[in-house]
Amino acid sequence: MTTPAHTPLTLSSSNSTGLAPGQHIFSKVPDEIFYEIFYLSTHSLGASSIQQSILCRVSRAWRALACNAPQLWNWIRIDEALEADTLDFDATLQLRIPHFLTLFNACPLQLSITTYSWVRHLGADARPDDPFCANLDRFRERLRMLSALIAPHLARVKILDIVYDESYVPADLSSNVPGYVAMPLLEVLQICNMNEHETMNDDLDHPEDAQALTILLRPPEGAVAENAAVELYPRLQSVTLHSVPLDWNLFCARNLVELKLGYLARNARPADAVMRRILSESKDSLRSLSLAACLVGEQSSDEGREVVTWDPLPELEYLAVGFTHPREAIPCLSAIQVPKIEGLQAERH
């Protein structure tokens, strides 16, 4: 059976829609409808990272529409992968990012970066002549190049989403970013290390990783240090850090609505006093809190010693606490005060 040839949607001269004979039916669709269709096709989860450029190739009319809709270009997705013997790079990256940034003008930017390098799959079997090892330097160079491309535009980022699987990635992505850069439009920050089993070891294998990211950290000195959260991230509302070690003593985010921390090695977790301080600085705004395998659970063995209290979280509606041993969560769960709580989850990992 032969598949019939595609026939454009056109109307005959006998139609009553007002279209001329042979005129394309889409010619009467309002631009606003096209904009909505274009937006949904470029911002859906399964959309190609170059979907905008694909739309521009359909016709001159579509290109004109797309290029005059800045909101279509405000989501930049970057996927870089190093497999066992190949490099899977976005060949258009160096041209695409500047092009997107030009077309989206001053619209707030959503930036999603996902990198896979799969070093752990080689393990003890890695050899100097392994194709993976030969390509690793090129992969890291690629990440540093990416850092140089995005660094000048971080002040325009509203949503930042980073996913990685190896400890060196944050340092490479930060290599061209000035320390403690201001991100005045940032509202949502999500950083996820997929290699959580390694980072949940009793001790962090690479303690220097905690110094790789300066985002969300208070500068150790200078005028900004006194009020870093307001100066650097005045609009920040939601923070998710999954298996991401930081210098928690310098963590400066405050007035958060949502906070998710999880899956940290024992020597990379914030001390209970530091965790209390972090929560206290968002106590009047926090509505959702998730602490998964990131609590220390300090307890005094001195009988009769007063139990340390945590500041109330009067607006908190959802609380999730995960632990590898109950003693990690007991001080938090027994002392935290959440009068408006609607959902509570406690889980052993």
Q: Is residue 344 part of a domain?
A: yes
Question: Which SS3 state, helix, strand or coil, does residue 77 take?
Answer: strand
Greater confidence (225 vs 126) lies with 225
Q: Is residue 146 part of a domain?
A: yes
pLDDT by residue (tens digit) across 102-124? Answer: 766 667 888 999 888 765 555 54
pLDDT by residue (tens digit) across 185-221? Answer: 999 999 999 887 655 556 666 655 556 677 888 887 7
CA-CA-CA-CA torsion sign (199, 203, 205, 206) = positive
Q: Is residue 12 part of a domain?
A: no
Query: Are both 119 and 217 inside the same structural domain?
Result: yes
Bridge partners (DSSP) of residue 241 are 191, 261
Query: Are both 44 and 78 inside the same structural domain?
Result: no
Task: Kindly tell me if the per-residue pLDDT of 59 is higher than 90.
Answer: no
Task: Kindly tell me if the per-residue pLDDT of 142 is higher than 60.
Answer: yes
Query: Are both 267 and 323 inside the same structural domain?
Result: yes
Q: Mean pLDDT over all residues of the chain?
A: 78
Greater confidence (165 vs 87) lies with 165
Query: Identity (one letter) of the amino acid at 188?
Result: V
Q: What is the C-alpha separation between 129 and 122, in angstroms, rounded?
A: 13
Task: Kindly tell me if the per-residue pLDDT of 134 is higher than 80.
Answer: no
Query: Are both 239 and 250 inside the same structural domain?
Result: yes
- The pLDDT confidence band at residue 6, using thresholds 50, 70 and 90, is very low
Query: Are both 150 and 278 inside the same structural domain?
Result: yes
Residue 117's region, left for phi above 0, alpha for psi from -120 to 50, else beta, is alpha
Q: What is the C-alpha separation between 242 and 122, in angstroms, rounded?
A: 24
Q: State the total domains in the chain.
A: 2
Query: Are both 143 and 66 inside the same structural domain?
Result: no
149 is in which domain, residue-wise?
Answer: 73-297+306-348
Task: Kindly tell me if the per-residue pLDDT of 11 is higher than 60.
Answer: no
Which residues, 6 or more positions from 45, have their beta carbon under 8 angstroms from its beta carbon?
none
Of 72, 107, 134, the residue at which a domain comes to its end is 72
Q: What is the mean pLDDT of residues 48-63?
A: 73
Q: Is residue 2 part of a domain?
A: no
Task: Kindly tell me if the per-residue pLDDT of 239 is higher than 70.
Answer: yes
Q: Is residue 33 part of a domain?
A: yes
Task: Kindly tell me if the per-residue pLDDT of 2 is higher than 50.
Answer: no
- The pLDDT confidence band at residue 24, using thresholds 50, 70 and 90, is low
